Homo-oligomer: A and B are copies of this chain.
Amino acid sequence: MAWDIPFAELRSLLGERFLTTQAARAEHSRDESHFTPVLPDAVAWPESTAEVSAIVKICAAHGCPVVPWGVGSSLEGHVLAVKGGVTLNMNRMNRVLAVHAEDMDVVVQPGCTREALNTELRATGLFFPIDPGANASLGGMAATRASGTTAVRYGTMKDNILALEVVLSDGRVIRTGSRAKKSSTGYDLTRLFIGSEGTLGIITELTLKLHGQPEAVSSAVVDFPDIGSAISAVITTIQAAIPMARIEFVDETAIRAFNAYEKTTYPERPHLFLEFHGSPSGVAEQAELAGEIMTAMGGSDFRHAATTEARNQLWKMRHNALFAAKSTKPGCIVLTTDVCVPISRLAEAVLETRADIDASPLTGPMVGHVGDGNFHCCLLLDPDDPRDKEAALDLAHRMAERALRLGGTVSGEHGVGMGKKKYLEEEHGAAWEVMGLIKQALDPQNLMNPGKLVKEG
């Protein structure tokens, strides 16, 4: 289809907030994935829903693709403008619009980051729990159905959004959901847009559920003689229904990377990083129960992160896993995998993966939100060595196939982007065609982040 970029119209709408410079385009040509950058034709910085709607209307009239952009921290090439067009950087729509402390909800613009939101909320005694390692935008997190270390307790983005405002492919603005905690009035459009990766519309406002800051918090680390016993401890803990706030697996290779990057001295063995939330006595009870399980499975005594600082340090370290990994191989790029399996199959999945990486020429620290059956490895590769890339893609492919074989999914939280699209037919079968029907119904011109998620028409 022939189309053009409506340069003049967008410039007259946005002035300096519409750029076609090489620098602006290059800055929006990649995310944190290994994919070769692709430059959009232009970048726009809208400041309001009305402007987003106006931009989309102009683009639609010219058949020009639109790619929304949060902070570009995604890991599968989601934001690459593979069909060209205009990238919409949402970072000027970053306000917290209303805090309803009494209802434990908050209305935010999509460019607001999770850290900025939690800073703003600090005085209220409430917080927003979802924490992908990166300081992602809440719009991007919704669009990727993100989760992170706390999902085992608080759920994912799908569980923590009450309502959305969305600009559709024809510029129409809709609101999905309300501030009521539940509703049975029609199709769940809120959940439909969550995880749609910019392919169905642009999220311009989110109403998020908040949670009370727990009265007591306690964190601990525990190490194990081998991966098998660490994972068994996780499975038993989850099956015992201990309401873990966090239960993260960090393998030996990752620990080595942490020790080097963060100057820590953790024993170079598989670890679990744990956190408990609740009342002081509840937290003590949970920690005791979990401790008993860990010990029975061969774990060391808990080493507690006693102070708030020590705790923040611990989770900052965990969130920097990718960068710690990278630092072990200067100049490398990272291919991050992200599978999720039923918890009963987790030991198999992790052990086979570890063996697979060990048998390859690559280094690949493994970390995981294992309470949900979700884990990653960070495969380090030399960008100039095609054999590295091939080996990494091969490992990633076997991980994806393994996850499907074990009844799981090829992405627990990072999403589809460029990297996982090739598995959607296998994972979803005919349901993938249904996704295509929905895309066609909502974006008949295929303008919203085209080339992603659904089968090409």
Residues of A whose CB lies within 8 Å of any CB of B are 100, 102-105, 144-147, 151, 155-156, 158-159, 168, 172-176, 178-189, 191-192, 194-196, 200, 211-212, 235, 239-241, 279, 281-282, 285, 338, 340-344, 372-374, 403, 407-416, 420, 423-424, 427-432, 434-435, 437-438, 440-442, 453-454
- Complex-state Cα separation, A435 to B193, whole angstroms: 13
Which of B102, B159, B175 makes the CB contact (< 8 A) with A239?
A: B102
Closest to A212 in B: B241
Closest to A183 in B: B409
Chain B residue numbers with a CB within 8 Å of A180 are 340-342, 373-374, 403, 407-409, 412
Which of B186, B279, B373, B413 makes the CB contact (< 8 A) with A453?
A: B186
Closest to A143 in B: B184
- Complex-state Cα separation, A188 to B145, whole angstroms: 10
What are 18 A-B contacts with C-beta separation under 8 Å?
A144-B184, A145-B188, A168-B434, A174-B428, A176-B428, A179-B342, A179-B408, A180-B408, A180-B412, A182-B409, A183-B409, A184-B195, A184-B413, A189-B431, A189-B434, A192-B438, A281-B285, A438-B441
**CB within 8 Å for A409 and B185 given contacts A191-B191, A212-B241, A427-B178:** yes
Chain B residue numbers with a CB within 8 Å of A158 are 188, 191
The reply to whether A410 and B282 form a contact with Cβ atoms under 8 Å apart is no
- Complex-state Cα separation, A188 to B164, whole angstroms: 15
Which of B195, B343, B438, B441 makes the CB contact (< 8 A) with A102?
A: B343
- Complex-state Cα separation, A282 to B423, whole angstroms: 44
Number of copies: 2
- Complex-state Cα separation, A317 to B18, whole angstroms: 64
- Complex-state Cα separation, A454 to B179, whole angstroms: 22
- Complex-state Cα separation, A299 to B431, whole angstroms: 52
Closest to A157 in B: B184
Closest to A289 in B: B279
The reply to whether A373 and B181 form a contact with Cβ atoms under 8 Å apart is yes
- Complex-state Cα separation, A158 to B189, whole angstroms: 12
- Complex-state Cα separation, A147 to B155, whole angstroms: 18
- Complex-state Cα separation, A188 to B156, whole angstroms: 13
> In angstroms, how far is the closest chain B Cβ from the Cβ of A285?
6
**CB within 8 Å for A407 and B340 given contacts A187-B435, A434-B442, A437-B442:** no
Chain B residue numbers with a CB within 8 Å of A372 are 181-182
- Complex-state Cα separation, A455 to B413, whole angstroms: 35
- Lowest 9 A-B CB distances belong to which pairs? A191-B191, A441-B441, A212-B241, A183-B409, A102-B344, A174-B431, A180-B408, A180-B340, A184-B415
The reply to whether A340 and B373 form a contact with Cβ atoms under 8 Å apart is no
The reply to whether A184 and B408 form a contact with Cβ atoms under 8 Å apart is no
The reply to whether B187 and A438 form a contact with Cβ atoms under 8 Å apart is yes
Known: A178-B408, A438-B438. 20 other contacts (CB 8 A): A104-B239, A145-B183, A155-B159, A158-B188, A158-B191, A174-B429, A178-B407, A178-B427, A181-B343, A181-B374, A182-B413, A183-B340, A184-B415, A185-B416, A186-B195, A187-B200, A187-B438, A279-B285, A281-B285, A437-B442
Chain B residue numbers with a CB within 8 Å of A175 are 428-429, 431
Chain B residue numbers with a CB within 8 Å of A240 are 212
Q: Which has the most chain B C-beta neighbours within 10 Å: A200, A211, A239?
A: A239
